Amino acid sequence: MPKPKLRVHGPRPGPRSPTLRGSETTSPRVPIRAGRPLPGSWLWLTRPGAEGDLGSELRLALGVAAKVTEIGPGLLRSELAPTFEDGTLDATFARHGVRVRNKTTLDARKVAAQVTALAKAGPIGFDVIVPDSDEGNRLAPLAVQLDEQVRELLSAAGVEPVPRDRAREHGARLIDVIVTSSEEALVGELDAQLALTLHPQGRARMRVAGDRPSRAARKVEEALDWLGLGPGAGEVCVDLGAAPGGWSWSLLERRARVIAVDPAELRADVANHPRMKHFKESAFQFAPAETVDWLFCDMAWRPREAAQMLAKWARRGWARMLVANLKLPMKTKADMVRELREILHGGGWNRLRTRQLYHDRDEITVTAHR
């Protein structure tokens, strides 16, 4: 049975360019307007080894007022917190961030009393967490025990935290108790609407079927979870650098139609899917026949060149939504992230966000709208 034709909609972007030169390959660097820094003392959780990147990012955004201090593996503290223009937290290399309320012991009754007092102001989400590090993981049994004890005491006091994944729809604040040693913890809070993530500790462990073509499927699933939006049935997605098909496989599972672009072969079951069309050519030379709904990209390529290519898609109106990974093999990453964001914004991508997600390695995930 012949495959159905993949149709895309919208205005035709124009003829394909076999090579791209001059202004066709470059976008101006346009800074994203920052929001007003949030006051207070802030605690940031990050992946082990990324403390320097997060510290550099906070200093770059906030200047000397940041007063960044590394207080342990995967754990930093700062004065002020950077935000986007809409007021949400802006920290690419942070897993999670909360405003510090106070220090406490691991006495469940004391912790419960503090959380109960905070709950008087409105609905809350609640968790006891640890930093994502070897030291933090050794404290995990204490955190689990404290979490169970505090929840029992909260229930007895008539306080019922809302499920964390529904905290935004309830207009809740996140109350997190971060265990920093076998004797002490820090109590933090944050409006869920402003949070980097609703996953405890920022650990968004994605579960995908065992027959996926590669581990990359977890990356795109986490990216869409973070975005809070994904392709619908029948929507057209371009997947640049698709081989062996991990991202395409996830998109097909969502019943989207996929245009995969990669000179290499896809796994046979992905390549032969009735909603798949594979172009064996360079992502830098490919142009869609018409505007598509989504642009996806996960290419092992130099980040500036990849960003300029993605900026071209916005400038020419070829896609409405962007989800991409940009590789960051260099030692100092914060300045590069700012440059890449400015390139993408200069091409016309808006509502642009960058994060180093749980399943990312030496890379960041970018999402944007046009």
Residues classed as catalytic: 327
**CA–CA dist 344, 31 (Å, integer):** 10
**CA–CA dist 95, 286 (Å, integer):** 34
Four-residue CA torsion sign, 197, 201, 207, 208:
positive
**CA–CA dist 235, 237 (Å, integer):** 7
**CA–CA dist 146, 35 (Å, integer):** 36
**CA–CA dist 73, 49 (Å, integer):** 8
User: Token digits for 16?
Assistant: 């394909």
Q: In what order do the strands lie in the sheet with 173-179?
A: 69-72, 75-81, 38-45, 96-105, 184-191, 173-179, 124-129
For residues 284 and 308, is the Cβ–Cβ distance under 8 A?
Answer: no
